[in-house]
Amino acid sequence: MLLLMLCHQLNAQVQNKMDWFADAKLGIFIHWGIYAVDGTSESWAFYNKRVPYSAYMDQIKGFKANQYKPKEWAELIAQSGAKYAVITTKHHDGVALWNTKQNNLSIPKLAPVAKDVLTPFVNALKEKQLKFGAYYSLLDWSHPDYTGFTKDSSRYKVEQDTLRWKRFQSFYNGQLRELIAQYSPDLFWFDGDWEHDAKTWDAAGIRKMILDANPNAILNGRLQGYGDYDTPEQNFPVTRPAQNYWELCLTTNDNWGFRFIDSNFKTPYQIISIFADCIGMGGNLLLDIGPKADGTIPAQQVYILKELGKWNRKHQEAIFSSIAGLPAGHFYGPSTLSKDSQTLYLFLSSTQAATCYLKGLQNKIVHAEVLGTGQQINPTVVGKISWSQVPGLVYFDITPALKDNYLTVLKLKLDGPLKLYRGKGGL
């Protein structure tokens, strides 16, 4: 009985600290590091032997950040509608953005900018009341006490050289303690855990260290089972991920960091429709941008974030603080619900926004409007038979003048909490 009570208390604590994350819906991911100088793939360029390790690391000499304006970054993130941002404090290449005391491999010590570029950004986020997430790579392909730094390098077995591994554990725990003490991240976004198991990483110990310092800190799911939420990457899940909370991390083009050769940017419509799918399934979107080495954000990414922000402001009540919408089969598109389940929001593509329909709704619709316009619409019920318990189809006709440039949202006020018919039809 005592164990059961403790489990319930733990679940309640996790749920309480996840409230802001569940309501936030949108975060901005930032991959910024020395890889932006030549536009190589972050860390993977040398790991996959596309460039020599020495040439990759020489990029640090060109990391000037001479046009870096962290307050403008934070302002753009706020304009997008995002409620949190996650930045790569250290990627797999081992180069830290802050002035780490654990080694000399950091931007302040080796790059021309010669200063900590992380602290002013964290401060700018806090001024905008945005949550701060610290991306941190557990593995480190530059550290002498880690394994080989290319995919065909020889790797030592931890159990055969425990002293070496303990030195590396001391290193990454030291860096994590620095991040905790200096920045108190609201969220830790781990990566690189795949090369070792939870016991080897001491994932339980990492989690304890973070939560002892800040019980409200959130950890992503890449800590060998010791995280708080799932993180599908790039590919949109067809079914909802297993954990209660989840977040799709997605690039705005084809790469995480800045690449000169990558101009394949997603359109605002594509980003907005993916975002709507995420929130319709009860998840978040962590949308990535890759600033240049001078600290400027590519114009295409600025445009995407601003267009996304305009759409978010127009439809904010259907997005932020909402919960997952209708299960599959009732409506052909994303949907969300108010927390009391008495208001249903339908997200319509440009083709749907002329006529669309809803199946299996047992509630009466007391008011329907096109969100952001204030214009009421009159739904039509088709196929309802008076003596049958099966509800009819509810059709909506939306005039072209009411359509949004990207996704149109219908707001349906119901006569009570949502009730759905889930049967196979018939009498």
pLDDT tens digits, 79-89: 999 999 999 99
The predicted model gives 127-139 an average pLDDT of 98
Tokens describing residue 417: 């909490």
Residue 14 pLDDT? 63
Which of 305, 18, 16 is CA-nearest to residue 187?
18
Sheet holding 393-397, edge to edge: 355-358, 393-397, 380-382
Residue 12 pLDDT? 55
Q: What is the CATH number of the domain that holds 73?
A: 3.20.20.80
Which of 232, 224, 207, 332 is CA-nearest to residue 282?
232
Is residue 423 one of the residues assigned to a domain? no
Asked if 387 and 302 sit in the same domain, the reply is no
Q: State the residue range of the domain holding 260.
A: 22-314
Residue 105 pLDDT? 97
Residue 82 pLDDT? 98
Asked if 257 and 342 sit in the same domain, the reply is no
Asked if 150 and 291 sit in the same domain, the reply is yes
Residue 221 pLDDT? 94
Three-state DSSP class for 313?
A: helix
Residue 251: pLDDT band (50, 70, 90) is: very high
Q: What is the CATH number of the domain that holds 353?
A: 2.60.40.1180
Total number of domains constituting the chain: 2
Asked if 344 and 222 sit in the same domain, the reply is no
Q: How far apart are CA 155 and CA 146, in angstroms?
A: 9
Residue 121 pLDDT? 98
The predicted model gives 382-388 an average pLDDT of 83
Please determine, for residue 64, whether its predicted confidence score (pLDDT) is greater than 60: yes
Is residue 242 one of the residues assigned to a domain? yes
Whole-prediction pTM: 0.94
**What proportion of the chain, given as a percentage, has pLDDT over 70?**
95
The last residue of one of the domains, among 295, 314, 333, is 314
Is residue 403 one of the residues assigned to a domain? yes
Is residue 4 one of the residues assigned to a domain? no
Please determine, for residue 279, whether its predicted confidence score (pLDDT) is greater than 90: yes
| Residues written for the chain | 427
Residue 6: pLDDT band (50, 70, 90) is: very low
Asked if 307 and 335 sit in the same domain, the reply is no
Q: How far apart are CA 37 and CA 59, in angstroms?
A: 6
Please determine, for residue 311, whether its predicted confidence score (pLDDT) is greater than 90: yes
Is residue 366 one of the residues assigned to a domain? yes
In whole numbers, what is the pLDDT of the chain averaged over residues? 93
Pair 369, 377: CB distance under 8 Å? yes
Q: Count the Cβ atoms, other than its own, within 10 Å of residue 70.
A: 19
Helix runs in 282-403, H state only: 299-314, 316-319
Asked if 280 and 350 sit in the same domain, the reply is no
Residue 5 pLDDT? 42
Please determine, for residue 3, whether its predicted confidence score (pLDDT) is greater than 60: no
Pair 193, 130: CB distance under 8 Å? no
Three-state DSSP class for 330?
A: coil
Residue 293 pLDDT? 98
